[in-house]
Structure 1
Amino acid sequence: MDPRRFLRSSALALVATGALLSGCTAGDSSPSPATSGGPGAGAGDARTAPSAALKPYYAQQLKWRDCGAEGFKCATLKAPLDYAKPAGESVELAVARKKATGPGDRIGSLHVNPGGPGGSAVEYLQAYAGIGYPAPVRARYDLVAMDPRGVARSEPIECLDGKGMDKHTQVDQTPDTQQEAARLVESLKGFAEGCKKRSGRVLPHVSTADAARDMDVLRAVLGDAKLSYVGASYGTFLGATYAELFPARTGRLVLDGAMDPALSARELNRDQTAGFETAFQSFARDCVKRKDCPLGTASVTDASDRLAEFFTDVDAKPVPTGTDRALGESLATTGVLTAMYDEAAWPQLRTALTGAMAGDGAALLGLADTYYERDPDGRYANLMFANAAVNCLDAPPAFTDPEQVTAAVPDFQQASPVFGRNFAWSALNCSYWPSPATGTPHRIEAKGAAPLLVVGTTRDPATPYKWSQSLASQLSSGTLLTYDGDGHTAYGRGSDCIDTAINTYLLEGTVPPDGKRCR
């Protein structure tokens, strides 16, 4: 599996449309959002009016229509394919809205993004945010979502068909020989070539900076002077990028489960490896206290050893699943990691591991399929295609060849003895990408932006807590809110303390005391 994936929202994990996503991204390579001649030049920032070529986009009128979900309306927004050439081709982006329900005065539009990159914001809005966000927030905001370019309903990136993805996801990602390493490289190259062949027109134009500029067009079209926004996981990087590009147009931004834009792709991958190890240790501490723990009841160390032994066993001899796909090490690892995103999935993982260790891998395969958004008919959502496309544009690759990975494996294994080799080799995924990266890691300060709220969870596997600490310190107006707990992201996960602090910020504009901690 590619470790650079982030959950769009733990509220949907393992329940609705998928469990985890990912995305290690850096920033736009532009030295300054106001003066750059790089990607997006001409979009300007809040200190400049849109260029003449962009004005038609900012002045467009959305045509709202029913979209199959009660209370929601949908529309299509047009944006330039290439912001450096705004008079050229355009892309069509899917938008959904649920209007404020009242009572109370309407504040404006609240944009939501569940992460990924690759998570459908429209789907998230209709399946969760539009009905599950706290009632006072839904009462006073129009809730708005836009699938970012390349995602779901917005010019979706396509790479492989179902059979091709089945083959790709089963390739050994902990190669023990040069032949196995060569097969992994061949699979990664085939994936990248498939993306170029099927989606070459949009592939160079799906960066986070492009998506942030699209959000500003939508903000203007909706009539809002400033952007209010809740972004989870990768969505925090999207929100922070918006604040960097358009600080004076930035309103109330909640960045939940933050990424650190200053880290390289290798650093992000290594940190995430340690984050999943922390999450697994929490799972193991809980598991060994239970009679049904498939990893034994002796100790956390013993549980780790048993899981590592299980991975070795299925690498040598995959377990039947009752389908034409056997459960090898790659899919088994993905299944285990899927459950690390939310402690509510731990009982499911115990059951799945018990079955797999007894020779029935169906349940653990089911967890892996949830991760990849594979349906029972063998069709995959575009999640993993968009995920790679955005990641590989946003930052230079972590590694450029297998030799670099081999040299880095000990460092990754130090971060996680169980998962380290898998994460190190998975970080090779952007090495053969057909579109060169347009972003580079850098600090995001967003000077001039209104107060911004960064939320971090202390034992978050996918976005380690120290990333939230770092982003809050980088942002000139950042405030850190901490959830002392397990799982990925914090808003809407059961902490009244967290939810109250975020709701107060969204409704009144008042940030909690910097450093406030909740349990």
Structure 2
Amino acid sequence: MRSLIRALTAALAAGLLAGASTPGVASAQAGPPSSGSTTQEAIDWKPCAQDATAECGTLRLPVDWARPSGETFDLAVGRRKATDPDRRVGVLLVNPGGPGASGVRFAVADAKSHFSPDIQERFDIVGFDPRGVGASHPVKCSTALLRQRPSVYPRNQTEFDRLAEYNRVLREDCRRHTGPLFDHADTLSVVHDMDALREALGEEKINYFGHSYGTLIGEQYAEEYGDRIRSMALTANIDHSLGARAFLVSSAAAAEDSFHQFVKWCERTSSCALHGRDVTAVWDRLLARADRGEIRDPERPERTLTAHNIAFDVFLKFYGPRWDELAAQVAALDAQAPAERQRSGQPRQDRPPLSREADQQTEAEPFHAVFCQDWRIRAKDYREYAELTRAELRAAPHMRGSPRVHQAVAGCIGWPDEVNNPQHRLRITEAPKILMLHSRHDPANHFTWAANVHRQTRGTTVLLPYEGAGHSVYGRSDCTRGAVDEYLTKLRVPSAGSSCAPAGPH
């Protein structure tokens, strides 16, 4: 089993999430310049270093679309051409989510196994690393400072203030190491980049497949450039209209629902490592032991695991869902002999003081640069934050909230109130029919998110529920795959009220 401690930061970046207008929004909404005015009008395609059967290149774009003649960056792009050119429909732009996941990697390394042969035959599959991500001028922060991250569960105003100050210091450190692009890493800027990419590809209209946070790119592209879409399929949808409380509570409810799905599966499945036991009691006891500092990391026995560590790793296994693996993991941790208490279950406070003299060694850390510019979610003090946390716990008493979203929201404490791309109700006026798929028991993005987006765009979107569990949707069954393929290739949408039956866990 991988080290739980090492997995948390990487997982956060790989897998997520209505306010008044701000000057930053007004300038961003001016949109990219007209045709032909980007710094680079074409992509110089060459065989990809990681796979010569695909093509890679870059497109030079403005850092700030309100200042198109200002500083630029290179957007990394990857492409797999349609394997049957005679049946080619067009380009299929893809994004796998995050924020922080690489669209280039998705197109070059994953598309062949992810998409059906029919999609590969008929579309040029094109992925790009969103600005600040992967090879597109990545957001970088000091490694030493990232290792000093305090607890995202402050117990009082003093610890809340410590977290806010850390976030401010880290933000300035990341801005210094990244440059001006850090302040323009929001999704609306990515949307403008995507339309410039469409233009560089020589396409009047695009097809788009977005998953999870990639659905926010799709939704906002449809708002800004709906008439430039031929088809758009969105899976595990983001609802960008939610305020702080609704966002946190619905995320917590999604995680708790997945926990109960796991418990039910274990009760009826003899191969479950916890079959025949009270799984809920085992789980609650395990987290209580972790609170007391009694559970060791199996891969690094000198380190103890917090309840947050354990819940986060289990939460990620809900994505599959990988229930057999999850059950074995919980059973193994529960079976650990009582360990000598090494430290309090509360997070360590013995880190060295924060220093503004940032270490020169850096690593990519794009998550909060994107998330905190897309969401106006800023608890002002410990009292407000504690109430939000209590609401999470009421919605998810066993999972103790959503480990991923709690950590995401905590990372924005102390940031400026102004955001480039604040929440708002989705307004799509010119797009064709858009197909949305969403798991009924998605652990990360609550099903109500998709239902709410659909309500906001009922004349434009068609929602196809997958009645099972897990975060991924497209390859879940013949029904989900077939619905997307039929739509992308022939523009046929499922009939109203349709749904796809659940398949087994992975």
Distance 1:396 1:18 in 2: 22
Q: CA deviation at 1:288?
A: 4.1
CA distance in 2, matches of 1:295, 1:176: 34
* 2:460 equivalent to 1:517: no
Equivalent residue number for residue 386 of structure 1: 366
For 1:160 and 1:514, the matched residues in 2 are separated by 50
The amino acid across from 2:106 in the alignment is Y
Give the superposed CA RMSD: 3.1
Distance 2:334 2:142 in 1: 31
Match 1:205 to one of 167, 178, 184: 184
Cross-structure match for 1:478: 461
**Partner of 2:28: helix, strand, or coil?**
coil
Percent of aligned pairs with the same amino acid? 31
* Partner in structure 2 of residue 489 of structure 1: 472
Superposed displacement of residue 114, structure 1 = 0.2
Asked if the contact 2:222–2:229 (Cα under 8 Å) also holds between the matched residues in 1, the reply is yes
Kindly state the Cα deviation for residue 141 of structure 1 after the two structures are TM-superposed. Answer: 0.4
SS at match of 1:281: helix
Secondary structure in 2 aligned to 1:38? helix
Verify: 1:234 aligned to 2:213, yes or no: yes
Question: How far apart in 1 are the matches of 2:290 and 2:272?
Answer: 17
Return 352-361 or 150-159, whichever deviates more. Answer: 352-361
Distance (whole Å) between structure 2 residues aligned to residue 410 and residue 351 of structure 1: 30
2:307: which partner in 1?
329
From 57, 73, 76, the equivalent of 1:91 is: 73
> Aligned pair 1:347/2:324, yes or no?
yes
Provide the secondary structure at the position in 1 that maps to 2:368: helix
* Unaligned segments of structure 2, at least 5 residues: 1-6, 339-360, 502-506
Q: Secondary structure at the match of 1:228?
A: strand
User: Hey, what's the Cα distance between the residues in 2 that align with 1:514 and 1:58?
Assistant: 45
Q: CA offsets, 1:239-259, max 9 Å, x none?
A: 010000011112200011111
Change (3 A) 1:226 1:299: same
Preserved contact between residue 100 and residue 138 of structure 1 (Cα < 8 Å): yes
Letter aligned with residue 399 of structure 1: A
Report SS of the residue matched to 1:85: coil
Structure 1 counterpart of 2:183, one-letter code: P
Question: How many corresponding residue pairs?
Answer: 467
Q: Structure 2 residue aligned with 1:38, among 14, 27, 32? A: 27
Q: Which runs of 5+ in 1 are unaligned?
A: 1-13, 44-49, 362-378
Alignment of 1:73-472 (within 5 A): 73-102=55-84, 104-161=86-143, 164-168=145-149, 171-176=150-155, 181=160, 184-289=163-268, 297-299=276-278, 301-314=280-293, 319=297, 321-322=299-300, 325-343=303-321, 345-359=322-336, 382=364, 385-420=365-400, 423=403, 426=407, 427-433=409-415, 436-472=418-454
**TM-score, structure 1 as length reference:** 0.82
Q: Which amino acid aligns with 2:325?
A: Q
User: What is the DSSP-based 3-state SS (H/G/I as helix, E as strand, rest coil) of the residue aligned with 2:496?
Assistant: coil
Distance in 2, matches of 1:323 and 1:194, equals 32
Following TM superposition, by how much is the alpha carbon of 1:197 offset from its aligned partner in structure 2, in angstroms? 2.8
Cα contact 1:27–1:394 (8 A) shared by 2: no
Cα distance in 1 for residues equivalent to 2:288 and 2:378 = 28
Alignment partner of 1:63 is 2:44: yes
* Letter matched to residue 336 of structure 1: V
| Deviation at residue 324 of structure 1 after TM alignment | 6.0
Query: Measured at CA, do residues 489 and 393 of structure 1 come closer, stay the same or move farther in structure 2, by a change above 3 Å?
Result: same
Change beyond 3 A, Cα 1:253–1:115: same
State the shift of 1:460 in Å.
Answer: 0.4
Q: Deviations over 1:190-233 (max 9, x none)?
A: 43333223224211111100000100001111111112100000
Query: Cα 1:323–1:70, aligned 2, differ >3 Å: closer, same or farther?
Result: farther
Relative to structure 1, the CA distance from residue 63 to residue 324 in structure 2 (aligned partners, 3 Å threshold; closer, same or farther) is farther
Shift of 1:443: 1.4
Residue 57 of structure 1 and its aligned partner are, at CA, apart by: 1.6
CA gap 1:477/1:87 in 2 versus in 1, 3 angstroms: same
Superposed displacement of residue 351, structure 1 = 2.5
Please say if residues 226 and 431 of structure 2, whose CA atoms lie closer than 8 Å, have aligned partners that are also in contact.
yes
Say whether the 8 Å CA contact 2:140–2:363 is kept in structure 1. no
Per-residue deviation at 1:419?
3.0
Which residue in the other structure is 1:375 paired with? none
Contact 1:295 1:306 in 2 (8 A): no
Query: Does the 8 Å CA contact 2:141/2:363 hold for their aligned counterparts?
Result: no
Between 435-444 and 298-307, report the one with greater CA deviation.
298-307
